[in-house]
Structure 1
Amino acid sequence: MIRLTRRGAIGAGGAAAALSAAHAAPLAATAPAPRETVALDAGWRFHLGHAADPARDFGFGLSHDSYAKSGEIGTPVAGAEFDARDWATVRLPHDWAVDLPFMPFGPPGSEADRSGAFQGFKPVGRRWPETSIGWYRRALPIAAADAGRRLRLEFDGVGRDCLVILNGFVVASNESGYAPFTVDITDVARPGEENWLVVRCDASLGEAWSYEGAGLYRAVRLVKSHAAHVRRWGAWVRADPVPAGAALRIATEIDNHGPACAARLRSTLIAPDGGRLARLEAPLDLAEWSGRTIEQRLDLRAPALWSPATPQLHRLITEVLIGGQVVDRQERAFGIRFARFDPDRGFFLNGQPLRIQGSCNHQDHAGVGFAVPDSLHAWRIEQLKAMGCNAYRSTHHPPPPAVLEACDRLGLLMLCETRQMSSNAEGLSQLERMVRQARGHACVFLWGIGNEEIHRGTPTGARIAATMKRHIRALDDSRPVTEALNGKLGQGAAAILDVMGCNYHLDEIDAFHAANPAMPMIGTETGSTVTTRGVYARDDAAGLVPAYDREFPSWASTAEQWLRFYAARPFLAGGFVWTGFDYRGEPTPFERWPENASHFGQLDSCGFPKDNFHYYRAWWSGETVLHLLPHWTWPGREGAPIEVWAHSNCDEVELRLNGRSLGRRAVERLGHAAWTVPYAPGRLEARGYRAGRPVARARRDTAGAPAALSLSSDRRRLAADAVAVVRVALVDRAGVEVPQADRLVSFALHGDARLLGVGNGDPRSLEADHATRRSTFNGLCMALVQAGPGGGAIALEARAEGLKPALLTLAGLG
């Protein structure tokens, strides 16, 4: 049995009004929200169970009558007297799979070996019963004063099948590893007494064809509210264009889990600048144990609009009042924007054409697996925006709230996609929870109902798609529906969709458009160039592919190929490159031990940019870009030809070696400039020109032997729980980064913070993510530092044998 013993594990209807935003009234001070939300991040104990042996699964299932009597689950873990002091202490988010050892799944070249590569060679699944069950346990803070309140648990996502047990009662089960869910625990909670929450997670059956973690890898919270309260995700705003501005439709879902009462709904709208735009009130006659949806409407003249360039967010404050007292209050951000697709001209936002420049993204990150903290989610989206992305596809699952909020705040549109394309009760439940969670977010502009489904081109697929679309329409009538089809564009579900989603298969696109000229189209998955950061020659034995935009699987294309194809067809709304970041599993083209991570990303798994990142930045960001590749440190290759590329949006690029011009090259739109240069140590320099004038420079200097470590981070001041991504580089005596030498780096952290995880972007690495040391890969590795609640100075020290150490200081804000 593989057992986790590490302590301190990482977890890480009112009257319409017409108002002008330019004459907003100041917002009066408001009383604290009467509802209480308690984050359940800390205080958990964790232990592995066993999927095949009840005796090693804490007795669960040992007796066939475990469910015979309600409140008797058949395991001592659920009882208040259970002693879990020998269990690991963990903090959410937590992914136990990332801490499991890497393990071959079968002989080299076997189907089991290939399956292991796709799952990141982590022993999770039915073949690994001793590491596929996880038990979590903690006390719940329910005071005597909470008697009479409604008590609910909110889970943002659990991997995967789970039972939720409170005080010995099974209060919920959940099948999806990604869809959020809510559990009302009022009946079995014991205010003023001990309350023990237990979650049993079973990751034996997965949902993805790549690594997907295991456990409580997203947030859990306890919500205490009045019997009359706004439902989770129950208040949201839709905006329709009108000649004078925007017509807002405010929908509020109220549940009354108590006696009948007379109440009022008050909705307050706050402008991006903090001024109050409007306050709407409506009477509420709430029947006993009932639910109601209240519609309120408001016309705004010249409102501030949300867009990727100006992601201006309003706020909606929703209050329920009884007898003049506020008994429930919610606040959420929303954006006002008008989106539409045109079958001939692509996508329009706020009346202006907008080319979709997106990336597809999985959940995981180096150092933490699936247990990505909120601030790291936001950091990842910032990197995508720096690349020039204006859109994000949540592939292939409902996203966590932090991703939705970051896309709202930073200005990335989102294609929000469900995992299970099914019209059965479970599939529709997952779909409904995804839509309800995301429909209030300005960023979401498309609903995705499936990805490369085997039944996509069949009558069955069409019927399922029609049911799912109908279900979405009942929840949200403001956004179109798509499905990502890899081929079979004119078949099955295709006729049901509002927007055709195209995965690769460029050869089918023109024919489909000619046959279906009224159907808008978008590239839901494109590109799939495979590159390894810092590698410039293919090495099949080592499992490495070059960083030139050249290698791709049979179904895919290079970055240049797909961008040029789409740019020549205005009817295509743009597309989403596969992928933004490298991710665990699916290590095309090397599907074998020890390859355990993909090569598809424009950034590696640590978030370090690859060279293609700069290609997209040149043509997407709107900034002047000049990027040279490869590095210029090739000892022993003097005189050998080196292929040099420049990713740039300049008109021309001139290349110089040690001061001598090697000529200018014109840069074609969506292309690159290239030279073949006999290697000589020194300085390789590029100069970019527009209209004959120099506008940019880039250089590569030959590095000497590694002499020191260098630490850097774009985060130097950290709020509590915020994460700094620390870049660790090997440098020579002159401070030039050494691109090919590698060393083992050890870390020591001082202050109120923790070393959350480490990584290096090597798709073959078998080193631990939760550790105090990491080898560099092509000169780089990464450390994740998470600030604690106390604030104060934080210092990260890095050492490597024979090198000058480095120290990075950060400020914790508490």
Structure 2
Amino acid sequence: MKIKALTALSIIALNLFGLNYNSVAQSAATKPSEVVITPYKTTMLADGKDEAQIKVVVINKSGKDVPDAGQLIKFTITGDAMISKLSDHQKYNEIGLPNHVITQGHLHNGILWVTLRSGHQKGVVKFEAKADSLYPGSTEIRMIQPSAAHKVTTVGYTPKKVEGKILGADISFLPELEAKGVKFSDKGVQKDAIEILKDHGFNYIRLRIFNNPARDSGYSPQKGFCDLEHTKQMAKRVKAAGLKLLLDFHYSDYWADPQQQYKPAAWRGQDFNALKHSVYAYTVDVLQQLKSQGTLPDMVQVGNEINHGMIWPEGEINNLDSLAELLYMGVQGVKAVDPSTPVMLHIALGGQNLESRYFLDQMLDRNVPFDVIGLSYYPKWHGTLDDLKANMIDLSTRYNRQVMVAEYTQLKTEVNDIAFSIPNNKALGTFIWEPLSTWEQIFDKDGKSNAYIDLYDGIAKKYITK
């Protein structure tokens, strides 16, 4: 029985049996509802030896872990990989026998660690964890067979330092919301959403751009939101408000992330040299048009969440040399318009240190120039706060570059405290993802600011307006 569907008579009946409606509702809210898996690698070597740790927990409808859960978890693996061990990372080893096919295991005190071992075939492995009556959890892992690295250039590069700290927001949805008639207000006063963010300490706006989103299979069929013209209009508003701008090239007509990096339709069928030229020419054209109207971005992302590559299939992670060349052409396009513009490489690996290091090592081995390391951090997929902190500290030290959280939404205070506190002046800041309308948004659906927005006054006072 769903608590929300209880009638008044049902509530009376519960009381007759000595049960309180509120306690029953609370019990339902804290019951396990979903299996969540956090992979600590989503790229593995297809050498028959590489291993990845996957954390399995269950959460309730409030998104909280259920620490006393003991469900039987059943695993399905599609692709060339196998489970080699189950444990709680301390003493529990349920099976772990050589050559034994492991297909299930119990949570112990609400947690189960799975060790996944690679096979010898490259490709995509799909890993799913199910439990009776719960929503399943799943992930995709790329199995790769890299070859020797070939440098994209022999010219040395010294990373540029970005001055100041960033308290930013990606609000690319704003024109769409306004087109639907949403009006934004703060404490009862209607204002431009950009101005409201500025009032609460935000000093940077991030905008995504798609090549041709108006295509039927694009991000915004017929309407073309997040194309160059919409981006130019938004850039004018951002600069007029006195804020800085990060431009996020997806190099796609549609969303680009670790599970999808679709090549723009206009570039399909091109040979690799023509494809590289298209990346360069498109980057230059976009930035030159923004520069001509006085709104040159203050920083540029060459690709979005690119730890599995971009512009597939040529730039897929299995083709590291080709990926490096495509990234290099994007960077060169940025520098051709303004050599001083910092470039970010953005990977979706907030707490995954081993994979972060692997990706960055591969790009640096190929001499790809970049200035800033950007991470996405969503706890459901990217680990704990301690994982995030340890990863950011290690990357900033290991690669002598500034690091930042380029996307997050939950744990707002905690994430900012970490992102602004990386030692040796390597902490750059954060960009909250789509706070006007998505997940833990700081405006309600009717455009009114809520209590979340007030958190940023304190964050800004602590880290931005000292």
Higher RCO structure, 1 or 2 (CA under 8 Å, sep 6+):
2
Task: Give TM-score, length-normalised by structure 1.
Answer: 0.26
User: Is the radius of gyration larger for structure 1 or structure 2?
Assistant: 1
- Between Structure 1 and Structure 2, the one with more helix by share is 2
- Between Structure 1 and Structure 2, the one with more strand by share is 1
